[in-house]
Structure 1
């Protein structure tokens, strides 16, 4: 399974950027969002409660004032 964090400007429908974070692993993302690894499908919204852990896991700072972020799991 591959994972990316996608960023969309607030109130917009276009993808501004997507960063591959597959190396973090399914178990870490499963723990983060509270969804079993086998059920991680579709776009999972990332919120303020996820921001600090995302920074720890990936080094990515979420600017939630300007953007909406999603964890995008996809099958290999």
Structure 2
């Protein structure tokens, strides 16, 4: 199970914010695991800098129960 990487947040990550800085030609896409609360904040931070970003839903790991 991934944990949200926002400071002092221990919630389970539900999405990956996949981002890349186009100013660095060698940079590969990076993933930031995030809970639903913090994903919009990080997405705003990345897009404000004109970096490419997308949200990718995390699939529950095998053995985990999806309670949606």
Which has the higher Rg, Structure 1 or Structure 2? 2
Q: Greater relative contact order: 1 or 2 (C-alpha under 8 angstroms, separation 6 or more)?
A: 1
Task: Answer 1 or 2: which has greater strand percent.
Answer: 1
Give the TM-score taking structure 2 as reference length: 0.42
Task: Answer 1 or 2: which has greater helix percent.
Answer: 1
Give the TM-score taking structure 1 as reference length: 0.39
